[in-house]
């Protein structure tokens, strides 16, 4: 199943929460979403142990999409500690983050592996949320456009247009993740337009409908300006997704900005 709205606010909980806090956070998000049906898709990516509970809770409201934070590129096998896409599908997970910079940086994930994960997700009908973005040195040296273009071509170049049409892409400048630094609205708008053009080169007109989310210290204080970018279709939120009120404020802001 795909996200119904093109404006998306997604929460990546990373390795945070325990059963009690995850439970409370999910309850608050599902209750709000049930009471406020709107044109923003809310996506929540809790840690693996809480995915089953999250799907169950979201199922009752039907409006929150549950995503995993990672998956393995093989269907199944002797890969101790890993989680396969068919497992995720079998419990009702609908989407999965792939290529997050923390996975690239700490677990050596590169675009060839990411490309295989995306294929596996598409094979099983899960929506990949593909992350790209440059690090601080690449931003400062001015190479950031080439870096992001290279990531996109390596990870997505083997897909046909109909597959690219099923993706969500997140632009997450690494220098802005968890640092409190954030891209300015102009920097975000420029990179989102650049990413849109790259996607259109690969897939033609269908890429115009692919949601491109911004991620990196996105908070209610800076979201309005960032979300105003023409090619910014919402956010992928880390730290600010761990507090229900803050995350819901970001959903409201995205709804208000994108309504016009």
Q: Cβ closer to ligand 13P: 216 or 255?
A: 216
Give the H/E segment covering residue 68: strand 64-68
Q: Which residue shows structure tokens 């309504």?
A: 259
> Which residue's beta carbon is nearest to the bound ligand 13P?
238
- Told to judge if 260 belongs to the known catalytic residues of this protein, a careful annotator would answer no
Is 100 annotated as catalytic? yes
> Which residue in 98, 126, 168, 177 binds ligand 13P (CB under 6 A)?
177
**What is the CA angle 15-155-43, rounded to 5?**
40
List 84, 99, 215, 229, residue binding ligand 13P (CB under 6 A): 215
Which of 237, 248, 253, 257 forms a contact with ligand 13P (CB under 6 A)?
A: 237
12 is a contact residue toward ligand 13P (CB under 6 A): yes
Applying CB under 6 A, among 30, 68, 118, 236 the residue interacting with ligand 13P is 236
- Cα separation, 237 vs 68, in Å, equals 14
Q: 29: Cβ–Cβ under 8 A, 6 or more apart, which residues? A: 11, 42, 44, 64, 244, 247, 248
Give the span between the Cα atoms of 82 and 160, in whole angstroms: 28
**CA 162 to mean position of chain CA atoms:** 19
Task: Name the helix (H) or strand (E) containing 127.
Answer: strand 127-132
What 3-state class would DSSP assign to 12? strand
Using the rule CB under 6 A, give the single segment among 31-39, 132-140, 230-238, 243-251 that binds ligand 13P: 230-238
Q: Which 34-63 positions form the footprint of ligand 13P (CB under 6 A)?
A: none
Task: Specify the residue, 114 or 236, whose C-beta has the smaller distance to ligand 13P.
Answer: 236
Which of residues 63 and 222 has its CB atom nearest to ligand 13P in the complex? 222
Of 109, 134, 172, 198, which one is the catalytic site residue? 172
Q: Report the alpha-carbon distance of residue 99 to residue 168 in Å, rounded.
A: 12
Indicate the residue among 102 and 203 with the shorter CB distance to ligand 13P.
102
Residues assigned a catalytic role: 100, 172
Query: Which residues bind to ligand 13P, rule: CB under 6 A?
Result: 12, 100, 172, 177-178, 215-218, 236-240
């Amino acid at each position: 199943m795909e996200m119904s709205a093109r404006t998306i606010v997604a929460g990546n909980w990373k390795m945070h929460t325990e059963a009690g806090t995850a439970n409370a956070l999910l309850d608050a998000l599902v209750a709000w979403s049930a009471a406020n049906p709107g044109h923003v898709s809310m996506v929540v990516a809790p840690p693996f142990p809480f995915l089953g509970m999250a799907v169950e809770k979201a199922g009752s409201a039907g409006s929150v999409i549950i995503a995993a934070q990672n998956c393995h590129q093989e269907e199944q096998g002797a890969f101790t500690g890993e989680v396969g896409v068919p497992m995720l599908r079998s419990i009702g997970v609908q989407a999965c983050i792939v290529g997050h910079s923390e996975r690239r940086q700490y677990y050596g994930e590169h675009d060839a592996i990411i490309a295989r994960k995306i294929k596996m997700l598409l094979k099983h009908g899960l929506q990949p949320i593909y992350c790209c973005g440059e690090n601080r040195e690449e931003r400062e040296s001015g190479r950031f456009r080439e870096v992001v273009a290279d990531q996109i071509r390596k990870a997505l170049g083997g897909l046909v247009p109909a597959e690219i049409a099923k993706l969500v892409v997140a632009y997450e400048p690494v220098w802005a993740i968890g640092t409190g630094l954030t891209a300015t609205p102009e920097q975000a708008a420029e990179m989102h337009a650049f990413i849109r053009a790259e996607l259109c080169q690969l897939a033609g007109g269908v890429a115009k409908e692919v949601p491109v989310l911004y991620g990196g210290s996105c908070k209610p204080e800076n979201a309005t300006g960032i979300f105003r970018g023409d090619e910014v279709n919402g956010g992928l939120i880390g730290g600010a997704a761990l507090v229900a009120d803050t995350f819901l404020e970001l959903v409201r802001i995205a709804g208000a900005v994108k309504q016009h």
